[in-house]
């Protein structure tokens, strides 16, 4: 068993790595980026619009935003340092003419032109020598050279370190970046500039390049290009942070880390996931035994139809029904305690004054309806599955042998049937551990519980890459742990099963 567990634990990082790669590529290939948001109209329709704080500000701010999220790098492999001067010149001609070729009569659409401009701007830092050579070559048109000067300034821009607790080296880098960025802004010229002014700026660009090509690594060697090919990518930058347990910050508030926000919501979603999981396992076993023991009798027919109806009713129907018909203006049975319809507990000014037992009671009162809304669907499915598993075990030869030996019916059901039938339920529930971080969006929204469901839904709407990736990573980890626990449970439930 220990050897099997060790092998599974060793395979866990590799499996998570593959999961992260697939999710990372899908998220980054999806249309749009974090500078756009989804606006939901009063009619309930969603439309994606540009974030005005970015769209109507200078390109420099847009660049800083994308640099912060690592969106200025390719996704998996970085071939940009290998671009030739001819390829660079061809891109400049396309952007200058707004056409794919001089003979093309149709102009690029605004969307396609913008995508090409942004991507070429991202490539600029890796092709600085080519851009400078084009700027200096008077054989090219003035429009091409002017455009090259703009991308040269774009390629030289760097993002400084953020935060209050910076090291002396980081502060020195920030001063260098600020000084260079101010100088880079003065390099591009306008169509009204004369030849002497243009020449002066070209010389300044040459001097700036010679001064900063080493600190900014603008003339990499072959080995440095190979390193860039594999490591200067969005994925490797993200994995570099993940390996230090840095999952980034929220898109809308860089002062809040993803990990701290998830930790703050952990108790809510953990309770609403683990408690229904345990209750489902226990209750479905009871009803499964009951239906199987009275097969083709009225309890079997009654509960089969009952659970089928429960399974067919969607949660967005049950949850409002529980709020309006069960909780609103009603009290718990045999008491005068009103049934809460929102929140995980009472407000803080009340909750903080309670004793430990009173706090537990307060939480149980608040989560009674949410648990019921979550529990009924899984219970309906698992009870019918448990019935099938029990019937299958009851038909086995060793059950007939036990009956022939005169073993008590209760002992047969508990010791022989129960343990074997539980294997099927454990298999079904094993992967459910991963939904701890998924939460229940509908239940959390209707009952105003600030759990993972609402949190990750808002992250998807806002294209918050850090939160989405953490959800995929943590959910996959919990799912794999759930399957490992299930494998170990098989061995405990059935001694015939070995993990060697």
Provide block-wise average pLDDT over 10 residues at a time, the chain (500 residues): 80 87 85 54 45 41 69 90 94 90 84 88 92 92 92 87 80 88 88 87 93 88 92 89 84 81 83 83 87 88 90 86 84 84 86 88 89 84 86 87 85 80 76 61 83 82 83 82 79 69
Are 429 and 309 members of one domain? yes
pLDDT at 80: 94
Q: Confirm if 75 and 25 have CB atoms less than 8 A apart.
A: yes
pLDDT at 90: 94
| CATH code, 373 | 1.10.3720.10
Residue among 306, 305, 242 at smallest CA distance from 17: 242
Are 213 and 349 members of one domain? no
Quote the CA–CA distance of 273 and 423 in Å, as a whole number: 20
Does residue 124 form part of some domain?
A: yes
Are 105 and 231 members of one domain? yes
Please tell me whether residue 329 adopts helix, strand or coil conformation. coil
Are 461 and 369 members of one domain? yes
Are 177 and 292 members of one domain? no
Quote the CA–CA distance of 84 and 235 in Å, as a whole number: 25
**Residue keyed to tokens 């701890």:** 436
Are 172 and 303 members of one domain? no
Are 225 and 274 members of one domain? no
- Could you say which of 209, 242, 275 is where a domain stops? 242
- Could you say which of 213, 242, 271 is where a domain stops? 242
Are 353 and 272 members of one domain? yes
Does residue 270 form part of some domain?
A: yes
Residues in the chain: 500
Quote the CA–CA distance of 287 and 303 in Å, as a whole number: 8
pLDDT at 302: 93
Does residue 183 form part of some domain?
A: yes
Quote the CA–CA distance of 418 and 285 in Å, as a whole number: 8
Does residue 77 form part of some domain?
A: yes
Are 214 and 352 members of one domain? no
Please tell me whether residue 37 adopts helix, strand or coil conformation. strand
Q: What are phi and psi of 159, to 5 degrees?
A: -100, 130
pTM (global) more than 0.85? no
Are 277 and 196 members of one domain? no
Are 214 and 263 members of one domain? no
Both structure tokens of 50 = 């540009």
pLDDT at 48: 47
Count of other CB atoms within 10 angstroms of residue 51: 19
Residue 243 burial (10 A CB sphere; 0-12, 13-18, 19+): exposed
Domain residues for the domain of 90 are 52-242
Quote the CA–CA distance of 461 and 38 in Å, as a whole number: 6
pLDDT at 46: 44
User: Per the structure, how many domains does the chain have?
Assistant: 2
Are 279 and 421 members of one domain? yes
Does residue 17 form part of some domain?
A: no
Quote the CA–CA distance of 366 and 338 in Å, as a whole number: 10
């Amino acid at each position: 068993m220990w050897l099997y567990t060790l092998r599974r634990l060793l395979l866990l990082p590799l499996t998570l790595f593959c999961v992260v790669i697939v999710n990372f590529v899908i998220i980054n290939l999806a249309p749009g980026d974090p500078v756009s948001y989804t606006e939901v109209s009063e009619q309930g329709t969603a439309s994606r619009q540009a974030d005005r704080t970015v769209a109507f500000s200078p390109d420099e701010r847009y660049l800083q935003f994308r640099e912060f999220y690592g969106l200025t790098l390719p996704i998996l492999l970085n071939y940009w340092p290998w671009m030739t001067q001819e390829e660079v010149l061809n891109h400049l001609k396309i952007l200058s003419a707004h056409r794919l070729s001089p003979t093309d009569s149709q102009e690029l659409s605004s969307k396609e032109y913008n995508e090409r401009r942004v991507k070429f701007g991202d490539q600029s830092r890796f092709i600085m020598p080519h851009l400078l050579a084009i700027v200096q070559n008077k054989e090219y048109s003035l429009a091409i050279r002017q455009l090259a000067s703009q991308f040269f300034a774009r390629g030289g821009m760097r993002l400084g370190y953020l935060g209050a607790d910076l090291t002396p080296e980081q502060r020195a880098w920030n001063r260098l970046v600020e000084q260079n960025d101010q100088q880079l802004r003065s390099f591009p010229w306008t169509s009204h500039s004369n030849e002497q002014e243009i020449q002066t700026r070209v010389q300044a660009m040459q001097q700036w390049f010679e001064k900063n090509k080493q600190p900014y690594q603008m003339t990499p060697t072959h080995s440095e290009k190979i390193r860039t090919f594999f490591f200067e990518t969005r994925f490797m930058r993200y994995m570099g942070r993940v390996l230090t347990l840095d999952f980034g910050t929220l898109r809308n508030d860089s002062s809040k880390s993803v990990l701290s926000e998830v930790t703050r919501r952990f108790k809510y979603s953990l309770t609403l996931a683990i408690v229904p999981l345990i209750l489902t396992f226990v209750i479905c076993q009871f009803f499964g035994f009951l239906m199987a023991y009275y097969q083709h009798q009225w309890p079997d027919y009654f509960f089969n139809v009952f659970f089928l109806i429960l399974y067919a009713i969607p949660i967005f129907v049950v949850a409002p029904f529980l709020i309006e018909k069960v909780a609103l203006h009603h009290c718990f049975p045999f008491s005068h305690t009103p049934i809460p319809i929102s929140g995980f507990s009472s407000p803080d000014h009340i909750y903080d004054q309670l004793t430990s037992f009173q706090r537990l009671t307060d939480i149980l009162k608040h989560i009674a309806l949410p648990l019921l809304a979550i529990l009924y669907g899984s219970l309906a499915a698992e009870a019918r599955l448990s019935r099938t598993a029990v019937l299958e075990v009851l038909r086995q030869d060793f059950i007939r042998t036990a009956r022939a030996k005169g073993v008590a019916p209760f002992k047969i059901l508990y010791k022989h049937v129960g343990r074997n039938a539980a294997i099927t339920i454990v298999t079904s529930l094993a992967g459910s551990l991963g939904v701890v971080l998924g939460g229940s969006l509908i239940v959390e929204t209707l009952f105003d519980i600030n759990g993972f469901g609402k949190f990750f839904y808002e992250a998807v709407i806002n294209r918050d890459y850090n939160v989405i990736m953490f959800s995929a990573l943590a959910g996959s980890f919990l799912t794999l742990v759930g399957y490992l626990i299930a494998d170990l449970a098989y061995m405990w439930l059935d001694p015939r099963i070995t993990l060697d």
